[in-house]
A and B are shown apart, each in its own frame.
Chain A
Amino acid sequence: MTAAAPESGDIAVPRWHPRLFRLPQHGYSAPMENLEVMTVFDRRLVRRRRDRAAGRFAAFSFLVEEVAERLADRLSAVRRAFPRVLDLGCHDGTLGRVLAGRQGIERVVSCDLSPAMARAAGGLAVAADEEWLPFADGTFDLVVSGLSLHWVNDLPGALIQARRVLKPDGFFLAAMLGGDTLIELRRCLMEAELEIAGGVSPRVSPFAGVRDGGGLLQRAGLALPVADTEVLTVTYADAFALMRDLRGMGETNAVLARRRGGAGRALFLEAAQRYAQAYAEPDGRIPASFEILYLAGWVPDDSQQKPMRPGSATVRLADVLEGPDRPAGACAGRQGDG
């Protein structure tokens, strides 16, 4: 498990679908007219996959559970009560159950694109699209999301919607799959497909990277943004066991540009063989990397710390540096510290 430090001050130059980084529009147009957003994912297919996975999700929810615990840990570092909570993309309600009763949480509303998942979550459940949230402005003190936002086409738009339903000084905390997720599987599938079909079709979803994260949060108007990642490594008997798990999680490919008609058994056999050759551990099991990208930010509020306006200083810097109680030599000495 490695963790990369957030690259603070490094405002992201988007490497991931630059066209996604449009400025937010005012008002809402119908989805069909929303052509500025690059449509990468087939959202109906995402929904069908989740609907299908809902019935037996408990058998495959280990990653969602693990991430829910980690989100709860992060939240416990925030000294504040969050009475009203929205679990955005709730799967079977795992995150809401983990959070219930902590941090002054009184009420969790769970929403998922899949009505079947929403039903599995129980409690105050709603079927809702992260890109079209059906909640009134300023409803929640906290919006949390565990492993769902990587399926959203308009991620900046979804974050703006999340911000909108938060109260002033509300907190947004999300975990989604990041750019290095399934890097081993991707490599093996690509090599196998190149060899068998002589071309490559996208078989694993594109993910946002940590460098995009900070910029996304700022675009959404969230203050004190933090983006960081960690990699969770899960081992499997073979590539087929990994694929079974991904299907069970409802996480299989929903990229619009995917080749239709399935990948074919030959391709997966070849990829599985390459996977084992390239990555198998001494015990024969293969590792699969899941990069978890965490995003956190606050809805701006006057109570938060913020930089002073340029030109608003009331004391000259020179006066501070060359003050009467501080000899010039000490100033020179201090420069070395920085």
Chain B
Amino acid sequence: MISETKAGDSPAAPRVDAKLLEILVCPLTKGPLHYEPASQELISERAGLAYPIRDGIPIMLIDEARKLDDTAASAEGV
């Protein structure tokens, strides 16, 4: 269900379990998610939302998701 951007080994933060990545979808669209290890986000292109992963726990709450702007710069997760 989830594609991944290769970014070498991510920092020390606990990594999200791959078994979870296999089954997660966007709660809004039920569409696929894209895993960004660098920013620790799960991106739903269709919904235009990025769900954060905190301490290895995906926060799949629409309230908590970051809105994706049309500028790609925001995806850097500053």
A residues lining the B interface (CB < 8 Å): 28, 30-31, 44, 107, 109, 111, 113, 115, 118-119, 124-129, 132-137, 139
Contact = CB atoms under 8 A, between A and B. Distances in A.
Contacts of A134: 24-27, 51, 58, 60
A107 B19 contact: yes
A136 B24 contact: yes
Contact of B30 (A28, A113, A128): A28
A240 B17 CA distance: 42
Interface residues of B, number: 23
A283 B26 CA distance: 54
Contact of A127 (B26, B30, B61): B61
A274 B28 CA distance: 47
Contacts of A136: 1, 23-25, 30
B5 to A, nearest CB: 20
A133 B64 CA distance: 14
A247 to B, nearest CB: 23
Given A28-B28, A28-B30, A132-B28, A139 B23 contact: yes
B25 A126 contact: no
B71 to A, nearest CB: 23
Nearest to A110: B57
B7 to A, nearest CB: 22
Contacts of B27: 128-129, 132-134
Given A31-B62, A109-B23, A136-B25, A126 B57 contact: yes
Given A132-B27, A135-B25, A115 B19 contact: no
Nearest to B26: A134
A143 to B, nearest CB: 13
Nearest to A43: B63
Given A44-B63, A126-B57, A134-B58, A109 B20 contact: yes
B55 interface: yes
A126 B58 CA distance: 5
A140 B22 CA distance: 12
A61 B43 CA distance: 35
Contacts of A137: 30
A298 to B, nearest CB: 21
Contacts of B19: 107, 124
Contacts of A124: 17, 19-20
Nearest to B55: A119
A276 B22 CA distance: 54
B69 to A, nearest CB: 18
A139 to B, nearest CB: 5
A126 B60 contact: yes
Contacts of A118: 57
For A113, A115, A134, A136, the residue with the greatest tally of chain B CB atoms inside 10 Å of its CB is A134
